[in-house]
């Protein structure tokens, strides 16, 4: 009986550890997404006018 309970508790602990790691991964993806968005907005602010002038100068 104790062995079954011990096995069950170990299984639940493993499931918890996997779920905890998946949650951390989502947070990490969110932080990377925010960093990329900030970098893109900064680049747009710094180069926006020049890129717009360059694109408008292209003749199709």
Alpha carbons 60 and 57: distance in angstroms, whole number: 10
In DSSP notation, 7-27 reads HHHHHHHHHHHHHHHHHHHHH
Beta strand spans in the chain (E): none
Which pLDDT score is estimated for 36?
94
pTM: 0.50
The 10s digit of each residue's pLDDT in 9-42 is 888 887 777 766 566 678 888 899 999 999 988 9
Q: Where are the domains of the chain?
A: 24-60
**CA dist., res. 31 & res. 43, Å (int):** 18
Tokens standing for residue 39: 């970098």
Confidence (pLDDT) at 38: 94
């Amino acid at each position: 009986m104790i062995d079954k309970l011990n096995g069950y508790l170990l299984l639940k602990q493993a499931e918890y550890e996997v779920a905890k790691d998946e949650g951390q991964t989502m947070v990490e993806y969110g932080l990377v997404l925010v960093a990329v968005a900030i970098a893109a907005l900064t680049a747009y602010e710094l180069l926006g006018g020049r890129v717009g002038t360059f694109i408008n100068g292209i003749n199709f």
